[in-house]
Amino acid sequence: MVELTINGIKTRVFEGTTVLEAAQEMGTIIPTLCHHEGLTPYGACRICIVEVVKGDRSSLEASCTLPVEEGQVILTDSERVKKRRKVIMELLLSSCPNSKTLQDMAANMGVNEVRFTIKDRECILCGLCVRYCKEQMQSGGIGFVGRGTSRRVATAFGVTPEECRGCGGCEWICPVCERACTAGNLVNGLCGGCQNLVPVETCPICIGCSESVTPSGHRVY
């Protein structure tokens, strides 16, 4: 067992656990996009960053790929973390403004402007579909093509490969095309349909849109 401190609370977890899992185990919520508990950690979206404190210095690390260490001191919600997360959220929104998941998450974080050029790529390249296809379906029918801004998810040579069994898992797991934002107009990349622009005091925890509050409780990310 390894003992570490998350937000001032000591916890003991098995060796080999990630910081994200340790935090989730004690009920601390860290937002994630490219993480899924059934798939290998990937560390691409960087939204799950946490602050790792080492003496008087600290660094930011993606919690989904960070293994726990004895005596580790983690802050999941420090000012530095929140500030950096918001910029990453802005970048994500600017590249995929029509995603309801992203808009809701942005609202939860209090992102109320997108200062970057909107370039709708309709995909955040989180790789969930690629990993799902390979690891859960043992297929490998889809993969990444290209580098940098031309990187995209595709099948080989643009044709449906034999390996694809049409399971639909890639669509099911996608955080972006799962539900499109239904709001009519996006104002500077932000959805006008939720409470970014018109705050409603219905939710005691966040100012997220009303849809994130369900009868069973509050939906957080």
Neighbouring residues of 88: CB distance < 8 A, sequence distance ≥ 6: 45, 46, 47, 49
Q: In whole angstroms, how close is the CB of 88 to another protein at the nearest point?
A: 6
CA-CA distance, 75 to 7, in Å (whole number)?
5
Category of 134 on φ-ψ map: left (φ > 0), alpha (ψ -120 to 50) or beta: alpha
CA-CA distance, 201 to 113, in Å (whole number)?
20
Binding mask 142-171 for another protein (x = CB under 8 A): --x-xxxxxx--------------------
SS3 194: coil
DSSP code for 67 = B
Segment 23-42, which members bind another protein (CB under 8 A)?
41
Under the binding rule (CB under 8 A), the answer on residue 16 touching another protein is no
Under the binding rule (CB under 8 A), the answer on residue 192 touching another protein is no
For another protein, which residue of 8, 27, 57, 117 counts as binding (CB under 8 A)?
Answer: 117
Q: In whole angstroms, how close is the CB of 58 to another protein at the nearest point?
A: 10
Give the binding range for another protein (CB under 8 A) out of 115-123, 166-174, 183-191, 196-204.
115-123
18 beta partners = 67
Binding mask 42-71 for another protein (x = CB under 8 A): -xxxxx-x---------xxxx--xxx----
Token code pair at residue 169: 């898992």
Nearest residue (CB) to another protein, 59 versus 210: 59
Number of alpha helices (DSSP H) and beta strands (DSSP E) in the chain: 5, 11
Q: Report how far apart, in Å, the C-alpha atoms of 197 and of each of 103, 111, 113, 183, 213 are.
A: 12, 11, 10, 12, 18
Under the binding rule (CB under 8 A), the answer on residue 80 touching another protein is yes
For another protein, which residue of 23, 74, 92, 191 counts as binding (CB under 8 A)?
Answer: 92
Nearest residue (CB) to another protein, 42 versus 203: 42
Which residues in this chain contact another protein in the complex, by CB under 8 A?
Answer: 41, 43-47, 49, 59-62, 65-67, 80, 83-84, 87-88, 91-92, 94-95, 115-117, 119, 124-125, 127, 144, 146-151
